[in-house]
Amino acid sequence: MDLSFTAQELEFRDEVRDYLRANLPRHLSEKNRKGLRLDKEDYEEWHDILRKKGWLAVSWPTEHGGPGWNVVQKYIFDVECGLANAPRVVPFGFNMLGPVLLKYGSEAQKNYYLPRILSGEDWWCQGYSEPGAGSDLAGLRTSAVRHDDHYVVNGQKTWTTLGQHANKIFCLVRTNPDVKKQEGISFMLLDMTDPGISVNPIVTIDGGAEINEVFIDNVEVPVADLVGEENKGWTYAKYLLTHERTGIANIGHATAQFESMKRIVNAQTRAGKPLLDDPYFAGRLAKLEIELEAMRITNLRMVAAAAETGAPGPESSILKVLGAKIRQEITDVARRAVGPYALPYIPEAFDLDFDDPVGPDDAAPIAASYFNFRKFSIFGGSDEIQKNIYAKMGLGL
């Protein structure tokens, strides 16, 4: 057994580290470190930087502009970006639609869409969930009816992350209502600039506005924008769920978040004594650190297995649950650390140049992050769905 990376992998890690140190703008890493909100320009700035280096579409093959990395390299890159508090790459085009087109798309679709994803010309969002189709995604009802060379699409999508910035949306739509629900779904590419599409923001529990409702009213979609075969969309959607899952626990971001929380904790006193002198609080922190370290090794074991067999197993479901849990727990400990100063809610405090804080440094976004992070155990397949998957695929129940 050997838990360390090879010399070659360490060299790669250092290359990534050096690159991030030299090229990750401080105003972006500071926003992430403090849990502030990123706007469209922030994401685009980071995409531009990575694009220049060729590190933007990391799961794509080299002929389409990807870096051609193996599983371990992709994992290292994910972790290092997280540790450096880099913004995440908005995944919908690069890590979701891209891989689906590469596997199931027509040559014309690949040639047209992949370069536009890479260049940033198209900003994609994901049209999966509907008001009546959450965990029961296959129950979706948005319909696409074929007329000659196009489909007419009608329905509503919801929880559409960053949909307000997107000009394109990939959707699961119902093309056959008369068969088993999974067998009547198709995967289609829609243009958000179509007058039949309207986007309505959903303000979230923390006061943020990153998710949306998308209404689709008589939108005509050329048959050329159907991905793969009609009624096979469920297969493509499931492929996405098993693709590139080794980074699913966000171990790098979780570790950076833990370190930020620890800095906050270390600065706190209670009745004149360091907060960490309170054995109960020290115990909370220790438990979290132990769980995080366990998750790091569990993740490494999965990466090593995926490197051997080529594909991650159902353990990715376990890691999704663990990753969500630990990130939620970190915000829970952080809000306890600042005590009553978790309460003040000052909208301006979410701007990086806000210089009139109430209470300890960095306290302002903590409670909002706690509430925002409830999303981790809900999106991308809720904890309950992940457990269903592992009970079946991992335990054979």
Partner 1 sequence: MNFNHTEERRMIGDALGSWLRNEYDLDARQRAMDEKAGFSHKAWRELGELGIIGALVSDTHGGFGGQGYDIALVFEELGRALSVEPWLASGLMASRILGECGDPGGLLSDVLSGETVVALAHGEPGSGYDPRWVETTATADGAGFRLNGSKAVALNADTATRLIVSARTSGAVDDAHGVTLFVVDAASPGVKVRGYATIDGLRAAEVELTDVSVEASALIGEKDGGLGAVENALAAATLAVCSESIGIMEVALEVTVEYLKTREQFGKPIGSFQALQHRMVDVATAIEQSRSLVIKAASVFEEEASTRDAALSAAKHYIGVAGRLVGEEAIQMHGGIGMAKATPINHYVKRLIMIDHLFGDTDYHLERYAALSR
Q: Which of 115, 177, 207, 283 binds partner 1 (CB under 8 A)?
A: 283
98: CB partners within 8 A, 6+ apart = 57, 59, 60, 114, 117
Q: Which of 102, 303, 333, 367 binds partner 1 (CB under 8 A)?
A: 303
**Whether the Cβ atoms of residue 236 and residue 310 lie closer than 8 Å to each other:** no
Question: Are 325 and 295 spatial neighbours (Cβ–Cβ below 8 Å)?
Answer: no
Interacting stretch for partner 1, rule CB under 8 A, among 148-156, 279-287, 329-337, 344-352? 279-287
9 versus 194: smaller Cβ distance to partner 1: 9
Euclidean distance between CA atoms 321 and 384, whole angstroms:
9
Q: Spell out a b/e string for 173-195, using b for 16 or more CB atoms within 10 Å of the CB, else e.
A: bbbeeeeebeebbbbbbbbbebe
Q: Give the number of residues in contact with partner 1, rule: CB under 8 A.
A: 43
Q: If binding is defined by CB under 8 A, does position 72 make contact with partner 1? A: yes
State the Rg of the chain over Cα: 22
Q: Give the CA distances from residue 51 to residues 46, 56, 59, 126, in Å, rounded to whole numbers and listed in that order.
A: 9, 5, 13, 22
Shortest distance in whole angstroms from residue 335 CB to partner 1: 20
Pick between residue 15 and residue 293 the one whose CB is nearest to partner 1.
Answer: 293
161-43-121 Cα angle (round to 5): 85
d(CA 226, CA 151): 9
H or E element in which residue 20 lies: helix 7-23
CA distance 139 to 152: 19
Distances (CA, A) of 376 to 254, 320, 382: 12, 9, 8
Distance CA 330, CA 373 (A): 10
Question: Among residues 244, 315, 329, 362, which is the contact residue for partner 1, using CB under 8 A?
Answer: 315
What would the two tokens of residue 194 be? Answer: 């179509």
> Would you count residue 136 as binding partner 1 (CB under 8 A)?
no
300 binds partner 1 (CB under 8 A): yes
Closer by beta carbon to partner 1, 202 or else 241: 241
Q: How far is the CB of 285 from partner 1 (least distance, A)?
A: 7
279 is an interface residue for partner 1 by CB under 8 A: yes
Among 169, 226, 295, 363, binds partner 1 (CB under 8 A): 295
Q: Which of 97, 216, 256, 285 binds partner 1 (CB under 8 A)?
A: 285
Query: Which tokens sit at 382?
Result: 């809720």
How near is the Cβ of 294 to partner 1 at its closest, in Å?
Answer: 4
Task: Please tell me whether residue 304 binds partner 1 under the rule CB under 8 A.
Answer: yes
Among 153, 214, 254, 322, binds partner 1 (CB under 8 A): 322
Binding mask 3-42 for partner 1 (x = CB under 8 A): xxxx--x---------------------------------
Q: What is the DSSP letter of 328?
A: H
Q: Which is nearer to partner 1, 102 or 295 (CB)?
A: 295
Query: Measured from the CB atom, is 75 or 187 closer to partner 1?
Result: 75
Of the candidates 14, 30, 39, 293, which one interacts with partner 1 according to CB under 8 A? 293
Say whether residue 278 binds partner 1 (CB under 8 A): no
Q: By the criterion CB under 8 A, which residues form the site for partner 1? A: 1-6, 9, 72, 276, 279, 282-283, 285-287, 289-291, 293-298, 300-301, 303-305, 307, 315, 318, 321-322, 384, 387-388, 390-391, 394-397
